[in-house]
């Protein structure tokens, strides 16, 4: 059986070089601009989105718990008097960012809660 000319001698070498170059270019374009990701990065991005979704759901509940307290107005004034980088600790210590099933307050929720409360009147 005789092979076609493209699969013989120098032609075969050039064919393999072209295939290798095409594969490398496809990977560069795919990962660089095509949005391809590896499994580890995809998992990290999914975890970040899940955390952001949890914070988005729990922060308004934290604000509601804060406003439902008997001394909410005085506590809000005290919160606004605290330095901005320390307000999440204030909310966490108050227990408004601690939810059933958790022994510790959620720091991300406390930070989002403090930001929402600072925007409240």
Condensed to tens digits (0 to 9), the pLDDT of residues 8-55 reads 777 778 888 889 999 999 999 999 999 899 999 999 999 999 999 999
66 closest CA partner among 42, 100, 33, 90:
90
Predicted confidence at residue 121, as pLDDT, reads 53
Banded model confidence at residue 1, pLDDT cuts 50, 70, 90? confident
How far apart are the two ends of the chain, measured CA to CA in Å? Answer: 87
* pLDDT tens digits for range 55-82: 999 999 999 999 998 899 999 999 999 9
Predicted confidence at residue 6, as pLDDT, reads 67
Neighbours of 98 (CB within 10 A): 19
Predicted confidence at residue 91, as pLDDT, reads 94
Banded model confidence at residue 4, pLDDT cuts 50, 70, 90? confident
Predicted confidence at residue 119, as pLDDT, reads 83
Predicted confidence at residue 108, as pLDDT, reads 94
């Amino acid at each position: 059986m005789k092979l076609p000319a493209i699969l013989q001698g120098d032609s075969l070498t050039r064919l393999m070089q072209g295939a290798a170059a095409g594969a490398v270019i496809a990977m560069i374009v795919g990962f660089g601009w095509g949005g391809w990701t590896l499994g580890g990065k995809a998992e990290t991005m999914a975890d970040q989105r899940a955390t952001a979704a949890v914070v988005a759901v729990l922060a308004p509940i934290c604000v509601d718990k804060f406003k439902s307290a008997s001394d909410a107005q005085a506590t809000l004034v005290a919160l606004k008097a605290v330095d901005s980088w320390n307000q999440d600790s204030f909310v966490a210590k108050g227990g408004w960012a601690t939810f059933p099933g958790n022994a510790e307050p959620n720091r991300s929720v406390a930070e989002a809660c403090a930001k929402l409360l600072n925007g409240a009147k």
